[in-house]
Amino acid sequence: MGTSSVDGAFTLNLVSGTNIKRVVVSAFDWYKKTEPHPVNTNSLLVNGDSQLAPYNEAGTPGDLTYDLATATDTLAFQADGAGTGGNAFGRVFLFSIALHSYN
């Protein structure tokens, strides 16, 4: 999700009354931790809540859990980069998204 020149973003519009309260995303930073890329610069936002994307030498994904303050039927996902040059824009691999409703 994202490119070297633009942050990635998408929105999920669910059926009214779905009332999503928790989102768990299996994700990984665009780069794995190496000498040329020693620090993580990519975050994933869900409805404005930002977390750094999982980042390690093995390149394995990890889970990011977002507990939403208010149940919702609309989820906005955005990758955000804090690097410079080609790393200035958010790029994150998404492997799965689990939605939890508390009706």
Report the amino acid identity of residue 11: T
Residue 32 reports pLDDT greater than 80: no
pTM: 0.86
Give the per-residue pLDDT at 63: 98
The model's confidence at residue 4, banded by pLDDT at 50, 70 and 90, is low
Q: What percent of the chain has pLDDT over 70?
A: 87
For 4, which DSSP code? S
DSSP string, 81-96: E--SGGGSS--EEEEE
Phi (first) and psi of residue 37, to 5 degrees: -130, 70
Domains of the chain by range and CATH?
9-101 (2.60.120)
Give the per-residue pLDDT at 7: 77
Query: What does the pLDDT look like over 50-90, one tens digit per residue?
Result: 999 998 888 899 999 999 999 999 999 999 887 655 556 77
Q: Are 74 and 18 in contact (CB under 8 A)?
A: no
Give the per-residue pLDDT at 56: 84
Q: Residues 26-53: what's their mean pLDDT?
A: 87
Residue 48 reports pLDDT greater than 70: yes
